[in-house]
Amino acid sequence: MQNFDYRTPTRLIFGRESIVKLPEVMRPLGKRVLLTYGGGSIKKAPVEREQSDACINSAERKEARPKVKLSLYGRVKELLKDFEITELPGIQPNPKYDPSVLDGVRLCKENNIDVILAVGGGSVLDCSKAIAAGACYDGEPWDLITYKVKAQKALPIVDIITLAATGSEFDPGGVISRTETNDKVGYVDPLLYPVCSILDPVYTFTVSKKQTAAGIADAMNHTIEQYFAEDTTLLNDGFCESMLRSLMVNGRKCLENPEDYTARAEMMLCCTYGCNRILSLGNSPSGWPCHGIEHALSAYYDITHGEGLAIITPRWMKHILSEKTIDRFVKYGINVFGIDSSLPKQEIAERSIDETYRFFESIGIPMHLREVGIDDSRLDEMARHIAENEGLEHAYAPLMEQNIKEILVASL
Ligand code: NZQ
Ligand code: ZN
């Protein structure tokens, strides 16, 4: 087992109506809040709350309590009525450095912001993390994101996550895109852990089938990226196998009935665990190869991250299946998909890859790059970009430019 030095400082408040703790969480962090959000889902998603006790007389108390309906945005504004709120709306999926990070940094400086409240999916939170660091730095925020300069400080971040996928709510990373240079860069710094993440599965009821499926694929891939490593433990393998089974079972239930609270809740927790290293403490590094490849796809073509991963994953698996890796595939096939352990190893391994493909296909993910608008015209350029920037020659199964190109071609 490898040495590690690990700490997750993020407070998680999980469950129905956990938002009521928002003022208590925010108060010690300051009064001036930058509220960040995306393209408007938080203004559409209806949120029910009970009328406050003050509004209900004792006779009514015996009856079922009346509910008040308002949007998540309305609920946040209502709970933070005593705070000074500046807003940064319009953060896009695959959040952009320009304008969102730059606008956010400017707003923080102009308004002397104390704390950022991110309400939305991983893109909103990732963008907020880059803003949090940029707001405490005098130079160009890109210097921090690319590690040219080490951040000394960041504003505190609180989030209300509305889409189960990335695990950004429990990790110190964010991924920022710079369109003009086709860069999509992962920025990780312990300063970027959210102070607190509020997770109410009800807020994910309105997530579309497409984004729900992409979230399942993203969290499954986070687990797979950590499972396929040289040095692993029985403990971590068990965590990962259980995560994968839970994501498949509960993910399907979420797609069949988007308002299934129990399934949405378990899926949400699985996703939260995905990226904070808890599944692989003591493992040797795996290099996260599918993410290395996918980040280029979404940088060049702005596709949905989870869909890109689902397309790449089985092709990557096929590509790296070898004498060295076969035992991992056998264990994965038996413990995740229940493949008959008496079959020959090669057959179990190949079936496990087919099962992975078929699962993603069965939840409605387009399984070819062409279906998400990517043709063969820029594959060479992307393969070179990935080989030069992602360090995949050090991955569990090392990938050179030619290997990356072959995986991309097989994914077309
Ligand atoms: O913009 P709005 O209107 O909010 O709509 C969003 C967006 O269109 C919508 N949505 C979010 N919550 C909703 C909802 N629609 C209805 N009801 C709700 N409750 O969903 C769309 C996608 O949102 P986005 O935030 O982009 O999705 P996701 O959470 O999957 O985040 C993807 C981004 O995270 C990065 C990805 O690369 C990508 O840029 N990642 C971040 C990681 C991290 N920080 O640890 C790790 C991941 O591997 C990943 O790379
Ligand atoms: Zn991911």
Beta pairing partners, 86: 34
Q: Report which protein residue has its CA nearest ligand 1's atom 14.
A: 207
3-state secondary structure of 362: helix
Closest ligand 1 atom number to CA of residue 186: 50
Q: Tell me the CA–centroid distance for residue 123 and ligand 1, in Å.
A: 5
CATH 3.40.50.1970 is right for the domain spanning 11-202:
yes
Q: Is there a contact between 12 and 170 (Cβ–Cβ < 8 Å)? A: yes
Give the model's confidence band at 66: pLDDT under 50 very low, under 70 low, under 90 confident, else very high: low
pLDDT recorded at residue 58: 45
Give the model's confidence band at 59: pLDDT under 50 very low, under 70 low, under 90 confident, else very high: very low
Q: Report which protein residue has its CA nearest ligand 1's atom 43.
A: 168
Give the pLDDT confidence of 317-357 residue by residue, as tens digits: 999 999 999 999 999 999 999 999 999 999 999 999 999 99
% of the chain with per-residue pLDDT over 70: 95
Ligand of minimum distance to the alpha carbon of 313 = 2
Q: Tell me the CA–centroid distance for residue 412 and ligand 1, in Å.
A: 24
User: What's the chain's average pLDDT?
Assistant: 95
> Within a 10 A sphere around the Cβ of 168, how many other Cβ atoms?
30
% of the chain with per-residue pLDDT over 90: 92
Pairing of β 46-50 and β 32-36: unpaired
Q: Tell me the CA–centroid distance for residue 68 and ligand 2, in Å.
A: 36
Ligand of minimum distance to the alpha carbon of 186 = 1
Cα 31 from Cα 27, distance rounded (Å): 7
Give the pLDDT confidence of 221-243 residue by residue, as tens digits: 999 999 999 999 999 999 999 99
Token pair belonging to 129: 């993390």
Ligand of minimum distance to the alpha carbon of 126 = 1
Q: Tell me the CA–centroid distance for residue 143 and ligand 2, in Å.
A: 23
HSE at residue 118, side-chain half, CA atoms within 13 A, is 36
Instruction: Please count the helices (runs of H) and the strands (runs of E) in the chain.
Output: 16, 10
Q: Which residues contact 247 (CB under 8 A, 6 or more apart)?
A: 216, 219, 220, 223, 267, 270
* Burial class, 172, CB count within 10 angstroms (exposed 0-12 / middle 13-18 / buried 19+): buried
CA quadruple 52, 53, 58, 61: dihedral, nearest 10: 60
Least confident among 26-30, 43-47, 348-352: 43-47
Domains 11-202 and 208-411 share a fold: no
Please report the beta strands in 162-247, taking only residues with DSSP state E, as ranges in sequence order.
173-178, 183-188, 196-199
Domain 208-411, CATH number (from 1.10.287.110, 3.20.20.140, 1.20.1090.10, 1.20.1250.20): 1.20.1090.10
Closest ligand 1 atom number to CA of residue 214: 30
Q: Which residues of 118-128 are buried (b: 16+ CB within 10 A; e: fewer)?
A: bbbbbbbbbbb
Provide the whole-model pTM.
0.95
Q: Ligand 1: which residues within 6 Å by Cβ?
A: 38-41, 45, 93-94, 120-124, 126, 162-163, 165-168, 171, 173-175, 203-204, 206-207, 211, 215, 218, 275, 291, 305-306
Report whether pLDDT(62) > 90: no
Q: Tell me the CA–centroid distance for residue 321 and ligand 1, in Å.
A: 31
Q: Which residue has the tokens 């015209």?
A: 377
Q: Tell me the CA–centroid distance for residue 106 and ligand 1, in Å.
A: 23
Domain locations along the chain: 11-202, 208-411
